[in-house]
Amino acid sequence: MKNSLQRKLLYSFMLVIGIVLIGVSIGVSLIIKEEMLSNKEQGLITKGSELAVTVGSFRQTNESTEQLSQFLTNIDGVVDYRVWVVNDSRQVIAMSAGYPPPPHARDERPGNGMGMMDMGHGPGPQMDHNLLFAQNAMEPIVKELGPVFAGQVWTQTFEHPFYGEKMLVVAVPIRSANGSVNAALVLNAPVTEMNAFMKHIYYYIAIAGLIAFILALWVVSWLTRGIVRPLKSMQETADAMAHGDYSTYVEIKTTDEVGRLGLALNSLAQGLAQNIEELNQMEKLRRDFVANISHEFRTPMTIIHGYNEALMDGTISDPALIQKYHSLIGDETVRLERLINDLLDLSRLQSATVEVCQEKLPLDAVVGSVVNLLKQQAEKKQILLSVHTEKNLPVIFGNGERIVQLALIIIDNALKYTPSGGCITVSTFKENDRVVLTVADTGIGIPVEDLPYIWERLYKVDKSHSRRAGGAGLGLAIGQQIIDLHQAQATVRSELDHGTTIRIAFPLVRSEGE
């Protein structure tokens, strides 16, 4: 199953679904993060703008930077951001002291507590140290505050060099009484809480994605099984067909492309089964034909050979008996000649090498002449042979010699298998766009199982009777070829011991323009 189609489809679908889930998860998390950062940024801008007005007023009434730092530290105690003030010379002149700086900003001088800088709420040497360190650490960034002193807002998120963590920094202008910008208020907000919140978001997205992936795995597995199952059935059917079994069919449950493919495969199997059956039937007919034709030739040849030996060795001296043997040899010779002619005629008709000269023919007149030829034979067997012809019968288009041959075969066949005292009725009439010839007899009839094969070469319903009647089983086969040659249609109805009716419908001659 390593290279199975189901596994390939499953892996392909799950790969696509996995990529989509990961992409959607990353996209959603980035959108949420950007939205949170944007909201925080807008909040800082709003708060910074309000605080800038307060700081500006404070500076107008108090020029002490120590008191300004104390003021900012007081504000730091009730907000979640650190506040700095940068003058127009790009110098950090005040900063809140409520947030511990990183280790590299600590004062490690002996006697200063636990090694932490004094983050008191008043001015002192430590505050000056913080300002100096902040100025040095933030110098590259402070230099970028040019837009703020031009009256604009500046924002950026980066790893803060003073606090040692990632922070959102917003700088807003501080205006003097005359409206000019004389300082910048810098708000430094840590994004730690936002990162913690995003971790929760990532966690829930991962859980939801895992659940979605498992559900998708189940759905895709079900879908792939539904796709592959009929394909497996088709494979089994094809394998069975390859081994000569045409009885296996694909179970069709859908009407989509796969279902139509299965239907086509079933049709192919059914068609092949019919073809094989036809080939087997043809092979059987071929074997029967060889056997029958051998029998048909062997019997007269045996008779001729036996009588000829009796005449040649002188054992027969009676003139009357000699004449009888000569007569029997002559009869069998004629029989052989008729059999050979019939075979040649059938071969020519089947190979379409016979020259077909067709003309307008009155079917009633042709049939009437054939009946007149066979009247004496019917009277000899005490059979009533009658003709019924519809008046003003349209003509047909055909070969006169072949139509006469067809009528002779059909009527002569009826005479052979109708016992004395019976009757044969020959009728011609128009039916719709056809001219119909029927020959109905009261003969021995044909069994139902033999009806499909009476037109085959050398096929005989009653072989013993056929021998006595002088038939070789080629008449109706020749008749079928003549019927096909004239694009006619033949049907046979028969009942044992009640007779047989053969019906042949010929197409009418079309008028000009049809």
Instruction: Work out how many domains the chain is built from and give that number.
Output: 3
Of 137, 166, 196, the one marking the end of a domain is 196
Residue 110 — very low, low, confident or very high, per pLDDT cuts 50/70/90?
very low
Of 314, 338, 354, the one marking the end of a domain is 354
Written as six digits, the tokens of 88 are 């127009």
Q: Chain centroid to CA 295: how far? A: 55
Q: Domain check: are 332 and 367 in the same one? A: no
Q: Domain check: are 424 and 345 in the same one? A: no
Contact 85, 76 (CB under 8 A): no
pLDDT in tens, 400-432: 888 998 999 899 999 999 999 999 999 999 998
Residue 462 — very low, low, confident or very high, per pLDDT cuts 50/70/90?
low
Q: Which residue has the tokens 């059938």?
A: 346
Q: Domain check: are 37 and 65 in the same one? A: yes
Q: What does the DSSP 8-state code read for residue 54? A: H
- Rounded to 5°, angle at Cα 417 from 414 and 423: 60
More confident residue, 207 or 294: 207
Using the predicted structure, report yes or no on whether residue 334 has a pLDDT greater than 50.
yes
More confident residue, 502 or 454: 502
With a CB cutoff of 8 Å and minimum separation 6, the contacts of 262 are: 230, 233, 234, 250, 251, 252
Residue 505 — very low, low, confident or very high, per pLDDT cuts 50/70/90?
very high
Residue 418 lies in a domain: yes
Helix, strand, coil in percent for the chain, rounding step 5: 55, 15, 25
pLDDT in tens, 62-93: 767 777 888 888 877 667 788 888 888 888 88
Average pLDDT over residues 276-294: 77
Residue 126 — very low, low, confident or very high, per pLDDT cuts 50/70/90?
low
Q: What does the DSSP 8-state code read for residue 157? A: E
Range of the domain at 300: 246-354
**CATH number assigned to the domain comprising residue 257:** 1.10.287.130
- Burial pattern 317-341, b for ≥16 Cβ within 10 A else e, equals eeeeeeeebeeebeebeebbeebee
Residue 349 — very low, low, confident or very high, per pLDDT cuts 50/70/90?
confident
Beta bridge partners of residue 423, listed in sequence order:
384
Q: Domain check: are 284 and 298 in the same one? A: yes
Predicted TM-score (pTM) of this structure: 0.45
More confident residue, 298 or 458: 298
Of 338, 354, 370, the one marking the end of a domain is 354
Q: Domain check: are 330 and 413 in the same one? A: no
Q: Domain check: are 343 and 388 in the same one? A: no
Query: Phi/psi at 106 (nearest 5 deg)?
Result: -85, 155
pLDDT attached to residue 419: 92
Positive/negative CA dihedral, 88, 89, 95, 99: positive
Q: Domain check: are 496 and 362 in the same one? A: yes
Task: List the one residue out of 139, 152, 153, 129 whose CA is nearest residue 89.
Answer: 139
